[in-house]
């Protein structure tokens, strides 16, 4: 049992390392980690400053960072599978005795860890370009919330990643998934401007709770960040419970149809 677990951890570590090497030369990741967060910060903070709402600056910075994290995570799940498929290694990974989700977890965690860079980029942009005061009321709660947000988003990415096995157009569908998530999660504007009937949908999204947890820890929103963190943990577990059987079903289907390389 222990040797089995150690073996799985070795796979996670190897996938983590492999993904880090691939990412270093991948222009999509460079764009989503280093460039897009800066541009989104300039646009969001610029809009609020122009309208005279300078107190929204930190909120916009955190939101832009969340967008960077989400981009890196969603691109991750889609692009990992697309990359393996194009490289001709997806069928081998699925046929291997090691469960493919374990490989996917290692690779996703690697990108999730790297996605923290995007949060750093947005804070640096806020500080350097707009000279925003970035006082975080509870730094420890902020860091814990950030890590739990990463875990929740990665779990959500695994749910979506299962579907990406089915299509060669993962990239195109990722692009569509981005903006509804940004809108429904209220990453750059308060959810109160959206119609009431959309709220239940927002409540199912990890980025919405992550953003709320970070905002609360930063002192921008009244409330207890630890309670929201508990919700994030619960949400991650729910995502994982959905992802596991879903992936098993999809894996069974592509094995049965022999359709993995037909695209």
Q: How far is the CB of 16 from another protein (least distance, A)?
A: 24
Q: How far is the CB of 259 from another protein (least distance, A)?
A: 16
**Residues near another protein, by CB under 8 A:** 27-28, 30-31, 35-36, 39, 42-44, 46-51, 53, 56, 169, 172-173, 175-176, 179-180, 182-183, 188-190, 193-194
Q: What is the C-alpha separation between 244 and 155, in angstroms, rounded?
A: 10
Q: What is the C-alpha separation between 27 and 44, in angstroms, rounded?
A: 24
Helices (H) and strands (E) in the chain, counts: 11, 0
CB proximity list for 236: less than 8 A, separation 6 or greater: 148, 151, 152, 155, 206
Judged by beta carbon, residue 1 or residue 193, the one nearer another protein is 193
Nearest to 210 by CA among 70, 109, 32: 70
Q: How far is the CB of 21 from another protein (least distance, A)?
A: 17
Judged by beta carbon, residue 140 or residue 263, the one nearer another protein is 263
Nearest to 75 by CA among 129, 119, 26: 26
Judged by beta carbon, residue 25 or residue 256, the one nearer another protein is 25
Q: How far is the CB of 182 from another protein (least distance, A)?
A: 6
Judged by beta carbon, residue 193 or residue 222, the one nearer another protein is 193
């Amino acid at each position: 049992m222990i040797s089995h677990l150690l073996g799985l951890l070795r796979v996670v570590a190897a996938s983590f390392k492999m993904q880090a090497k691939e990412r270093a030369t991948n222009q999509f990741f460079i764009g989503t980690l280093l460039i897009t967060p800066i541009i989104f910060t300039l646009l969001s903070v610029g809009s609020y400053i122009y309208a005279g709402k300078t107190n929204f600056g930190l909120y916009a910075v955190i939101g832009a960072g969340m967008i960077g994290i989400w981009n890196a995570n969603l691109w991750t799940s889609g692009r990992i599978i697309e990359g393996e498929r194009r490289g001709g290694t997806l069928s081998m990974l699925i046929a291997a005795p090691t469960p493919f989700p374990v490989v996917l977890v290692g690779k996703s965690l690697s990108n999730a860890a790297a996605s923290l860079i995007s949060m750093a980029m947005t804070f640096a942009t806020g500080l350097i370009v707009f000279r925003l005061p970035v006082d975080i009321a509870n730094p420890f709660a902020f860091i814990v919330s950030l890590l739990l947000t990463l875990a929740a988003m990665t779990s959500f990415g695994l749910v979506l990643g299962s579907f990406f096995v089915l299509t060669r157009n993962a990239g195109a569908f990722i692009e569509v998934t981005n903006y509804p998530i940004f809108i429904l999660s209220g990453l750059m504007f308060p959810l109160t401007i959206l119609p009431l009937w959309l709220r239940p949908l927002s409540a199912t999204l990890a980025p919405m709770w992550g953003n709320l947890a970070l905002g609360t820890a930063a002192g921008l929103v009244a409330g207890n960040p630890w309670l929201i963190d508990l919700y994030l943990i619960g949400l991650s577990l729910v995502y994982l419970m959905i992802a596991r059987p879903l992936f098993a079903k999809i894996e069974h289907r592509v094995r049965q149809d022999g359709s993995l390389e037909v695209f």
